[in-house]
Structure 1
Amino acid sequence: MIVVGGGVAGLTTAVLLAESGRRVRVWAREPAGLTTSAVAGGLWWPYRIEPGLLAGAWALESLAVYEEQARRPQETGVRLVDGVHHGSRLDELGEWAGRVPGLRECAGGVAARLPVIDMPAYLAWLRERLAKAGCEVEVREVTDLAAVPAGVVVNCTGLGARSLVPDPEVHPVRGQLVVVENPGITTWFTCVDHSRTGSTYFIPQPYGLLLGGTAEEDDWSLEPDPATAAAVVARCARIRPEIAGARVLGHRVGLRPARSAVRLERRRLPDGRPVVHNYGHGGAGVTVAWACARQAAGLASAGL
């Protein structure tokens, strides 16, 4: 079978298939380091994903995997880090929140020790696991799922599904971030206002402090906007003033693949071959990756 898509959804699904003994290849339009997954903030949290009930269950299932991976941070790029979701309340988060170890209300929000994933390192680690399992990853663009020469096709193309399936319901939610030299901040912080395009968060990563962010619906631009970057830094500096003088190391832009609901199902191509769809994870692709990959791998293997 062939998994189409080289972001976290595609690589995780391929890992589960390959390590279960399936013969699988990955076709990716671009190297993993250039995918939307590579520029993700990397904080585990079910953000901008529907349906909420399923997303909560998927997030919890994936959380258990990340907690185990966090025992080997140098190998996996996954660490457990303390932080605060400012403005959040436990009774507004859904049933899943009651099952997050240590999640508690604090002054101004909720606090927890959660997985923070260094995405470039993590994607490289997934690629290594695939290589050890005998799975090839090829940089190869797909323009027609029906033309993919495999008995089973697994579609993990994220925003690419909009034209590939085609599925016009998939649309971008643009996120812009700034990477600065970390002035000594060891905890993460988020303050999200869903009624605005701008939010405030910072996440310590090994390569620097990641500042965010934006959530701009139907914006396809991958070019960093200087005014937006300045506003991001200013918002974060209001929380931690030392950020104001931090040296800027780089800018990141990613397009979250949003959809009214994650598409995770098995269908048929025109010639009758199975195609398994696993896309539309919005701002929580990393958060739900392992649970959705397990379901997709099960659907792909059914009947084989």
Structure 2
Amino acid sequence: MASSQRTPPVTQLDPPRHAVVVGAGVIGLSTAIRLLEAGYRVDLVARDLPGDPLSIEFTSPWAGAHHVSVANGADMRLHQFDARTFKVMSDLIRSDPDVPLFFAKQTEYREEPEPTEGPGQHAGQLALMSRYHPNFRWLAPGELPTGIACGAEFTCILIHTPDYLAYLVGRVKHLGGRIHRCGALASLAAALEVDPSLSSADLVINCTGLGARTLVPDAKVFPTRGQLVIVEAPWISQGITRLGPAREGQPRVYDYTIPRPKTGHVVLGGCAEQNNWDPNPRADMTRRIKERCLALQPELLPPDKRTGGTIDDLRVVREAVGLRPTREGGIRLEVELLRTAAGREIPLVHNYGHGGYGFQSSWASAEAAVELAGRSFDGSGMALDRAGKARL
């Protein structure tokens, strides 16, 4: 398989360093691939695997998804991660015909003006995306719908998440990685007891997403509930997002449509309800999503229903709920020591807390985790802060 990579070099040892990655979502799989490419021997341990029946406890298969960054100037590390991952995915599209990623036109609407970058003022989300998205242009005032203060269009990347996760599994196996299914783990150290061959591993990489809340444990991890409506509309080829203002104490209002070219489906959303564990679609939210997305993109209706059609004419395939693995303070990329059942202390590299942007930042955060793994063996014990700088 073709590969686009920028992995930090590691000392090639005989035998190579042995890494155990815990978690088989997009972050765990991407990290396993980068470790393998950097010369590690890799075993991946997970309770949930791509291809399993959908489970509310396994986030990645629920994602829409598209590469449209949520970073603004307050978190330049995330911007850099997203920009790097966009490049990797773009290179994959151009080099690997099997990758289920697709370039597509994206339109973004904002109900509030984009902040003007300057002293004491961070760059806005759209301004940062303009630095790396192809064909970016700001929309003229006459192109903006009523109630929209600013907007832009550009080329994004659509991610058919079920197939993309299967593709990543294939790459792990092609590169020689092994995958082990486990039951519910009592601790991260317990991952080394899933198979006798793992007990002597040199390090563990924690990519457990929402599971890190109990496995680390990390009280800063919490779910952000998202509800989706998936409709059949193979004639839709571009996505649209409308983002409302942030209001204190209330979930931010936003609406989006994300085409899935391989199936002819379109993902409609959404909501972002923090600390809401409810796994069941709510009828009121389903109706709201359908109404607002149809207003955003009337072409979602079948061609013969566009005159006088209503939300009842949408061809609904499924309603779904996913819990985004969010973390106060953002992604945790850090090294500490893990005591094994045998009493050894080995490096534990954390790579979790990606919220709803795991696919968008996956390759860059995987590369950062590999860099931290390498540093953990030279004694520097470094970590990355939110500005992307190394710190002790």
**Distance in 1 separating the partners of 2:288 and 2:97:** 33
TM-superposed CA distance for 1:74, in Å, is: 5.3
Structure with greater helix percent:
1
Counterpart in the other structure of 2:231? 180
* SS of alignment partner, residue 230 of structure 1: helix
**Distance in 1 separating the partners of 2:231 and 2:362:** 27
TM-superposed CA distance for 1:268, in Å, is: 0.9
Q: Which has more radius of gyration?
A: 2
Match of 1:160 among 211, 236, 247: 211
Counterpart in the other structure of 1:286? 359
**Distance in 2 separating the partners of 1:285 and 1:148:** 22
Query: Which 4+ runs in 1 deviate beyond 4 A?
Result: 48-51
Counterpart in the other structure of 2:383? none
Change (3 A) 1:48 1:57: closer
Does the CA contact (< 8 Å) of 2:226 and 2:323 recur in 1?
yes
Deviations 1:114-146 (A, max 9, x none): 111101110000000011111122221322112
Counterpart in the other structure of 1:250? 318
Counterpart in the other structure of 2:303? none
Change (3 A) 1:53 1:288: same
Match of 1:171 among 209, 222, 244: 222
TM-superposed CA distance for 1:269, in Å, is: 1.5
**Distance in 2 separating the partners of 1:209 and 1:95:** 27
Does the CA contact (< 8 Å) of 1:156 and 1:277 recur in 2?
yes
**Distance in 2 separating the partners of 1:49 and 1:282:** 15
Match of 1:102 among 112, 117, 135: 135
**Distance in 2 separating the partners of 1:49 and 1:301:** 29
Normalising by the residue count of structure 1, what TM-score does the alignment of the two structures yield? 0.93
Counterparts of residues 155-304 of structure 1 (less than 5 Å): 155-182=206-233, 184-193=235-244, 194-195=246-247, 196-205=251-260, 206-207=262-263, 208-243=265-300, 244=311, 245-259=313-327, 260-270=329-339, 271-302=344-375, 303=377
Does the CA contact (< 8 Å) of 2:104 and 2:238 recur in 1?
yes
- Higher relative CO (CA 8 A, sep ≥ 6), structure 1 or 2? 1
Q: Is residue 2:86 matched to residue 1:63? A: yes
Structure 1: stretches of 5+ with no match in the other structure: none
* SS of alignment partner, residue 32 of structure 1: coil
Counterpart in the other structure of 1:81? 104
Count of residues paired in the alignment:
304
Q: Is residue 2:163 matched to residue 1:121? A: yes
Q: Is residue 2:185 matched to residue 1:142? A: yes
Structure 2: stretches of 5+ with no match in the other structure: 1-18, 117-123, 145-150, 193-200, 301-310, 379-392
* SS of alignment partner, residue 66 of structure 2: coil
Change (3 A) 1:73 1:239: farther
Counterpart in the other structure of 2:125? 93
Q: RMSD value over aligned CA atoms?
A: 2.1
Counterpart in the other structure of 1:17? 35
* SS of alignment partner, residue 154 of structure 1: strand
TM-superposed CA distance for 1:30, in Å, is: 0.7
Deviations 1:143-201 (A, max 9, x none): 21123323201000011100110000010110111110116211100112243454211
* SS of alignment partner, residue 58 of structure 1: helix
